[in-house]
Amino acid sequence: MANVRHVPQRTPKTHIVDTSDIADATSFGWSSTNWSGYAIASDVNGTYKSVAASWNVPTVKASSGTQTSSWWGWLGRWFASLFGVGPSSSDAYSATWIGIDGFTNSNLIQAGTAQNIVNGSPQYYAWWEILPAAESEISPVEYPVSGSDAMTSTIAQQGDGTWQIVLHNQTRGWTFIKSGIQYTGPQTSVEWIEEAPEVNGTVTALANYGEVSFHNVTVNGANPYLQLSAAGIMVQNNQQVSTPSAPGPSGNDFNIQDGAAQPPAPTA
């Protein structure tokens, strides 16, 4: 079974060099080889005690380059996964998630959904993770996920100092709750991210996820009033592969799109 981790590979506070496809690109605050979205940071430990958002699970499709071409090709991918030598070059991955910490430190508590192309077929599931451990996949039998499902997630510190993760699939009517979590990170950043995760120690190619809308975004139960300077793009092999929009007028939502073109901001 593949070892999947959601580890940041980012350069915060670095402006974009190639601005040819981006309007007002210098307003973006950071870039990464595997993250894109929005992140807010503080210098004060304990600043962020909860984070939340809603999104629709993006639908991924296998391109001609990710189709399983033969039985031998399938066997090679299975062998590589079994022995942990990295993902197949024809596989592609994406993860949509919220988290606390990770942007300016090596800690991170997070939860979200995975939308991958593995062995030529779409793969969907929900997960949670606390670094440095690998992700914990949430049973897709008990908690099924499909493209376009409406998801809501909350990560919050409880009164006794432990943490709770909640993932709710409105479309399928289930709620996953993980309580009593011991987490000791500094609580100095919050994120809403579209990611190409690390599989067996290798950052993967990003699956074509189309577009995702993050809405009802909150920090400590309140509107974070997002600014474009908190947004970042993903760059792989010198190509911009994932780009967020400006925040919507309410400051608590944004769109993010596969590719270099910046999507329009939410209108309401």
Supply the pLDDT for residue 89: 57
263 occurs within a structural domain: no
In a domain, 180, yes or no: yes
pLDDT tens digits for 158-168?
999 999 999 99
Q: For residues 193 and 1, is the Cβ–Cβ distance under 8 A?
A: no
Question: How far is it, in rounded angstroms, from Cα 237 to Cα 12?
Answer: 18
Query: At 76, phi and psi to the nearest 5?
Result: -65, -40
Supply 97's token pair: 């998630």
Is 265 inside a domain boundary? no
pLDDT of residue 245: 96
* Structural domain range at position 209: 4-258
| Residue 63: predicted pLDDT | 61
- pLDDT of 127-175, one tens digit each? 999 998 999 999 999 999 999 999 999 999 999 999 999 999 999 999 9
Domain count, the chain: 1
Which single residue is written with the structure tokens 């996964």? 81
**CB of 115 within 8 A of CB of 209?**
yes
What's residue 8's pLDDT?
63
Q: Can you give the pLDDT at residue 71? A: 40
Residues 128 and 65: their CA atoms lie apart, in Å, by: 30
Q: Is there a domain that residue 266 lies in? A: no
- What tokens appear for 93 in the block? 């991955």
Distance of CA 153 to the CA centre of its chain: 12
Please report, for the domain that includes residue 230, its CATH number. 2.60.120.700
DSSP code string of the chain: ---EE----EEET---S--TT-TTGGG--EEESSEEEEEEE-SSTT---EEEEEEEPPP----GGGS---HHHHHHHHHHHHTTS---TT-BB-EEEEEES-SSSS--EEEEEEEEEETTEEEEEEEEEETTSPPEEEPTTTS---TT-EEEEEEEE-TTS-EEEEEEETTTTEEEEEEEE-------EEEEEEE--EETTEEPPBP---EEEEEEEEETTB-----GGGEEEEEETTEEEEEEPPPPTTSS-EEEEESSSPPPPP--
264 within some domain = no
Confirm whether 121 is domain-assigned. yes
Q: Which residues of the chain have pLDDT under 50?
A: 1, 11-25, 64-81, 83-87
CA-to-CA separations, 161 to 156, 182, 183, in angstroms, rounded: 10, 8, 9
| Both structure tokens of 264 | 């329009």
10 conformational bin, left if phi > 0, alpha if psi -120 to 50, beta if neither: beta
Strand 189-195 to 211-219 pairing: unpaired
Look up residue 140 and give its two tokens.
């897709």
Give the per-residue pLDDT at 153: 98
Q: Within its chain, how far is the Cα of 74 from the centroid? A: 27
User: Residue 61 domain-assigned?
Assistant: yes
Cα–Cα distance, 246 to 162 (Å, whole number): 34
Residue 247 inside a domain? The answer is: yes
